[in-house]
Amino acid sequence: MGLIRLVILGLVIWLLWRMVKNFQARQNSKKKTGGNIEHRNMVLCQFCSVHVPESEATRHGQKWFCSEGHKAKYLEKNS
């Protein structure tokens, strides 16, 4: 019975050690990459006032829209 407890205790200690090592590795990789924060220019949709990344927005002149549908509705409403 004592040997089984010793093996179980060893497994618990090993699992805890692996969890700590994995956590430290993730923290170190976040520090190296800057926390995976992506900086993008955000623009305001003229129709619904939602901020969207410029790369995903649709433009008409000086105005930005979150989708082609909102651009069409805005132009229809304000023409």
**Could you report the per-residue pLDDT of 13-56, keeping only the tens digit for each?**
999 999 999 999 888 877 666 555 566 799 999 999 999 999 89
Q: What is the pLDDT of residue 23?
A: 92
User: What are the residue ranges of helices labelled H in the chain?
Assistant: 2-33, 68-77
The pTM score is: 0.51
Q: How far is CA 74 from the centre of its chain?
A: 30
Q: What is the pLDDT of residue 34?
A: 57
- What does DSSP say about strands 42-44 and 63-65: parallel, antiparallel, or unpaired? unpaired
Handedness of CA 21, 25, 26, 31 (dihedral sign): positive
